[in-house]
């Protein structure tokens, strides 16, 4: 994957993407566990 002349993108981009994805995964897990806790 070539990002072009801006070499800082490959460093910042994965970080910016990994952080929201981790938050989304945690929220989704909380929702799943929460539903199971409420239902069971």
Query: What are the tens digits of pLDDT across the range 1-39?
Result: 555 555 555 556 566 566 777 787 888 887 776 666 555
This model's pTM is above 0.85: no
pLDDT of residue 40: 47
Query: Which positions ≥6 away from 15 have C-beta within 8 Å?
Result: none
- State the pLDDT at residue 11: 58
The secondary structure element, H or E, covering residue 36 is helix 9-39
């Amino acid at each position: 994957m070539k990002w072009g002349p801006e070499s800082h993108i490959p460093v910042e981009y994965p970080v910016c993407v990994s952080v929201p994805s981790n938050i989304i995964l945690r929220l989704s897990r909380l929702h799943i566990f929460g539903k199971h806790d409420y239902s069971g």
